[in-house]
Structure 1
Amino acid sequence: MKHFSQLITELDQSNKTNDKLAALETFFSNASDEDKVWAIALFTHRRPKRQVTTRQLREWCIELSEIPEWLFEESYHTVGDLAETIALLLPHQKSNEEISLADWINKLIELKGLSDEEKKWMIQDSWNRLTKEECFIFNKILTGGFRIGVSQNLISKALAVHLKKEKSFIAHALMGNWDPIETSFEKLFDSDSAIEDLSKPYPFFLAHSLEKGIEALDEPNKWQVEWKWDGIRGQLIRRKGETFIWSRGEELVTEKFPELANLGNSLPDGTVLDGEILCFTNGSPLPFNLLQTRIGRKNVSKKILTEAPVSLLAYDLLEFEGKDIRDQPLAERRLKLEYLFKSIDHTNFELSTPIEANSWTEYSMLREESRNYFAEGFMLKRKDSYYETGRKRGSWWKWKIDPLTIDGVMLYAQKGHGSRADLYSDYTFAVWDGDLLVPFAKAYSGLTDAEMKEVDSFVKKNTKERFGPVRTVNPELVFEIAFEGIQDSPRHKSGIALRFPRISRWRKDKPKEEANSLADLKDLLKLYGGK
């Protein structure tokens, strides 16, 4: 646990990729195999199930630290993170115990089935035996809020160096439905074991945003141009009579999309499709907000299946006739995909069709119509490109349309989490409805560190009211809010919900009176609602 705690500290203290890579390599070189497996599991979001409630943790911390409840709540509002608040409030002694990460996690797993009193004794005993830094990590695992700023790509790089294997092999080994309780470090990276896992998807190939002008690319006939669909990226796998559907976030979602599971039954064994899960009807995609009605539901009712039917819009073929074909050029994979599509007659199977134009100028004009097709712009893929691992530059680009924007007044502010726990960095924005300001969006990204500190100072000097961790501020600051889509929402006071809102810029040039109105938002809704 000491080594893992030190690793997390080093990862959190640096923004440099090389520093993080070096810290990971050192940890994997020194840790036991059991600790390696659990570290990888935590970094890839395979946490043990939570066995205690946040209410219980609050009560047990208050009891052990001998403080009043109001002081705990004030501390929590100031820190903004429960795991960190508990670690800071508890009395800690210097610990010389060498208990491994795996042993601590096994203790948490053993909480299942214990009485509340037994859980309390075990948690408080653990807190007493951990240093402050170790206690923070323990609490993060305990609450299920373990998120550290390190990508799976970086984990794969560090393990590739440690194991002296190709990063693509490591990335593929980390995919799939493996369980850290049952999987050893050796088995995780054993080639034969990887083959045995019928459900294992391939690492997704991701595109960078096109930064230079489109003219910087070579002639259009060397590129396959498709709509960039606004859905859920997924892989549909059919192997040995079984069907599996994986999201890009490495979530097995087969049961959430029974129509696609049924489609899988129509595919030949040894087939893996890469595509977009979209609500689809009468040959056309439907708005993303309709798909949202199915996300997060444990049970999909007949009503939902009827109102929000989904299809897989396939745009790549990764496995064909049981063979991994990612090393074949896109043009060849495309021919096989078209052949497969023609041989399968299924209502929920669609093919992403390339868009034809004679010049990049023509493509630029077509791209402006993206919202009419419920798309976000274009995907540009070299016809001779292989299907690589992770995000690579050069052969795949996403060429998105410009976001929609609206100017809003900051109305509420709340402290952030982690490195932002001391800053008011999460904001609520409002637009004018006559003489009233009506909240319409929340955003927490888009400002520089210097701007965030300036806003934080404003919030502290201009607070009107406090509601727990939230502060109402004098409505003076105006920000341009960018977003990808807009739709009706009876759950919001404004009657409108935005898709992916974020701060585009601080409008220091604009007084609050010149911020946009609710009528402006409704005009955008008429133009782009559902698009």
Structure 2
Amino acid sequence: MRAFTDLLERLAFSPGRNAKLAHLARYFGTAPDPDRGYALASLTGELDVGRAKPALLRGMAAERVDAELFAMSYDYVGDLAETIALIWPTTATPREVRLGEVVTSLSDASRTEIPGLIAGWLDAMPPSERLALLKLVTGGLRVGVSTRMALTALAQTGTVPREEIEELWAGFRPPYQPLFDWLAGGPRPESMLRAPFRPVMLSTPTDESALAALAPQDFVAEWKWDGIRIQAVAEGGTARLYTRTGEDISGSFPDIVERMDFEGALDGELLVRRGRDVAPFGDLQRRLGRKAPGKALLRSHPAALRLYDILVWEDEDLRTLGFETRRARLEKAIAALREPRFDLSETLDFPDWDALADLRAAPPDPVIEGIMLKRRDSAYVAGRPRGPWFKWKRDPMVVDAVLLYAQRGHGKRSGFYSDFTFGVWDGDLLVPVGKAYSGFTDEELRRLDRFVRTHTTERFGPVRALAPRLVVEVAFEGLNRSTRHKSGLAMRFPRIARIRWDKPADEADHIEALRGLLR
């Protein structure tokens, strides 16, 4: 666990992408098998050892530590795993615990054996390794590493391009010995998965100033819908639905998979659609993560695909063709399918960038979040190449809100209150409308933390209620109705755009302002 612990610490305290890649590549290139394979699985969410619930950990700590001391420590630290790692009394001779030992032992253990295993490892470890262990067994690493970043680092340890690794990734299983053998110069493994995922092509953000240097006639424009990017693959009698990162979500959307009566791979947007109308993202969110949605949910929230590219069709790989050529092939494919749940993404007519800006400013549907631009001659290239595809999103919505609650962050922010719940006025009351943990500098974070500590009115475990005095300007990408929130509203991607130290709380926005944005 020592090398794995060192990796997690370096990742947590390295904000830059290149630094994270360097740490990952160094670990994958030097760690022994099967440890590095299990580490890769844990970082990509493919390791199923998150078998220790918070209640179990609290019970284990209660057997070793005074209850009041633990409560005071937890309140100060703010993170359960970190608190236990720091306060756990050492009662055994320290020894090296291998990551592979932890994974295989937990996989084979019964529920009653798990507390004893974890306690034995905690006894033999220093605090930093205890924290890594507890994060591992709870499934909460949170070190800012995506699957794509991990595979990019993995590719840097050998001569196999990341795109080739991604094509076979879904067919590998921890600890990935055939994958590491391949990277070391061994034979390319045979794909064990039917209907495999193909790495997706991504766009880069743009704005009016950047577009001025480009020729409008070289691009095709489409609406950017607020859904989930998917890849629908049906080959050899097997149909699968993937997210943009290669996660198989077929079980959550059987109403789509059962209609994939074709041989090929299509790229598009997953939406909830009622007739011709596209439902808000909140409706789609009710479907996400449900491994077996019930019949009532399938009827009330029917999924649909809005398709905008074709990668493979009837055993022919089309990715090297230009976009316009692929678009023509996609039109024919959809027409032949005759499936009402699948439709074609609309292209937009625009003579110049000013005309496109007018379309972007007044989209025909509130579920549209901007415009996609694609070069007419662009091949389908995995990753995010600069130039072929752009996304021009709508300007974010902005509202002034009052900070209501604060909670400690994780990783390098575990010593600061950095997760904030904010609200707006509803009559004489402040009602919560969202939560944000980004948008401020390190210096602003330190000042916010001091504000929290000096303006706390109540404590609820790790959460502090605040005196309603500080106004923040919150930017967000969209707004949906929500029955889960007291305000009846839910924000999409909220972030703190500005801290209004100068603004009185009674001048913050009212709920009517948000409802107006919703309409």
Bin for the TM-score computed over the shorter chain:
over 0.9
Alignment identity in percent?
A: 38
> What is the alpha-carbon distance in structure 1 between the residues aligned to residue 199 and residue 5 of structure 2?
29
The Cα offsets for residues 194-243 of structure 1, whole Å up to 9 and x where unpaired, read as: 53421420122222221562533422121121111111111111110110
1:76-91 paired onto structure 2 within 5 Å: 76-91=74-89
SS in structure 1 of the partner of residue 390 of structure 2: strand
The Cα offsets for residues 125-162 of structure 1, whole Å up to 9 and x where unpaired, read as: 11112222222111111001122223434323332231
Which residue is equivalent to 1:281?
274
The Cα offsets for residues 373-421 of structure 1, whole Å up to 9 and x where unpaired, read as: 5210001111222222233322211100012221111122221222111
Which residue is equivalent to 1:4?
4
Task: Give the counterpart of 2:136 among 131, 134, 141.
Answer: 141
Which residue is equivalent to 2:469?
476
SS in structure 2 of the partner of residue 437 of structure 1: strand
Task: Name the aligned partner's letter for residue 82 of structure 1.
Answer: L
SS in structure 2 of the partner of residue 372 of structure 1: coil
Task: Give the counterpart of 1:292 among 285, 294, 298.
Answer: 285
Which residue is equivalent to 2:174?
180
Task: Give the counterpart of 1:308 among 298, 301, 305.
Answer: 301
Aligned pair 1:131/2:126, yes or no?
yes
1:85-164 paired onto structure 2 within 5 Å: 85-92=83-90, 97-111=95-109, 114-116=110-112, 118-164=113-159
Contact in 2 for aligned 1:188/1:194 (Cα 8 Å): no
Task: Give the counterpart of 1:224 among 202, 215, 220.
Answer: 220
Deviates more, 1:243-252 or 1:137-146: 243-252
Which residue is equivalent to 1:46?
46
1:101-500 paired onto structure 2 within 5 Å: 101-111=99-109, 114-116=110-112, 118-174=113-169, 176-180=170-174, 184-186=178-180, 193-211=189-207, 213-264=209-260, 266-267=261-262, 269=263, 271-370=264-363, 372=365, 374-500=367-493
The Cα offsets for residues 488-518 of structure 1, whole Å up to 9 and x where unpaired, read as: 3343222322222221211234222211112
Contact in 1 for aligned 2:148/2:245 (Cα 8 Å): no
> What is the alpha-carbon distance in structure 2 between the residues aligned to residue 371 and residue 58 of structure 1?
52
> What is the alpha-carbon distance in structure 2 between the residues aligned to residue 393 and residue 401 of structure 1?
21
Shift of the 515–52 alpha-carbon distance from structure 1 to 2, 3 Å rule, reads closer
SS in structure 2 of the partner of residue 296 of structure 1: coil
SS in structure 2 of the partner of residue 393 of structure 1: coil
Task: Name the aligned partner's letter for residue 2 of structure 1.
Answer: R
Contact in 2 for aligned 1:272/1:317 (Cα 8 Å): yes
Task: Name the aligned partner's letter for residue 346 of structure 1.
Answer: E
Task: Name the aligned partner's letter for residue 130 of structure 1.
Answer: M
Shift of the 96–170 alpha-carbon distance from structure 1 to 2, 3 Å rule, reads farther
Query: Normalising to structure 2: TM-score of the pair?
Result: 0.93
The Cα offsets for residues 59-79 of structure 1, whole Å up to 9 and x where unpaired, read as: 11232xx32223323322332
SS in structure 1 of the partner of residue 347 of structure 2: coil
Shift of the 50–153 alpha-carbon distance from structure 1 to 2, 3 Å rule, reads closer
SS in structure 1 of the partner of residue 136 of structure 2: helix
Task: Name the aligned partner's letter for residue 12 of structure 1.
Answer: A
Contact in 2 for aligned 1:206/1:392 (Cα 8 Å): yes
The Cα offsets for residues 154-189 of structure 1, whole Å up to 9 and x where unpaired, read as: 323332231122232233333x25321576444776
Task: Name the aligned partner's letter for residue 180 of structure 1.
Answer: P
Shift of the 94–204 alpha-carbon distance from structure 1 to 2, 3 Å rule, reads farther
CA RMSD of aligned residues (A): 2.3
SS in structure 2 of the partner of residue 391 of structure 1: coil
Query: Normalising to structure 1: TM-score of the pair?
Result: 0.91
Shift of the 284–521 alpha-carbon distance from structure 1 to 2, 3 Å rule, reads closer
Which residue is equivalent to 1:505?
498
Displacement of 1:276 in angstroms is 0.6
Shift of the 218–413 alpha-carbon distance from structure 1 to 2, 3 Å rule, reads same
Which residue is equivalent to 1:57?
57
Task: Name the aligned partner's letter for residue 55 of structure 2.
Answer: R
Deviates more, 1:138-147 or 1:286-295: 286-295
Contact in 1 for aligned 2:106/2:114 (Cα 8 Å): no
Which residue is equivalent to 2:516?
523
Shift of the 444–23 alpha-carbon distance from structure 1 to 2, 3 Å rule, reads closer
Task: Name the aligned partner's letter for residue 499 of structure 1.
Answer: R
SS in structure 2 of the partner of residue 523 of structure 1: helix
Task: Name the aligned partner's letter for residue 156 of structure 2.
Answer: V
> What is the alpha-carbon distance in structure 1 between the residues aligned to residue 371 and residue 190 of structure 2?
34
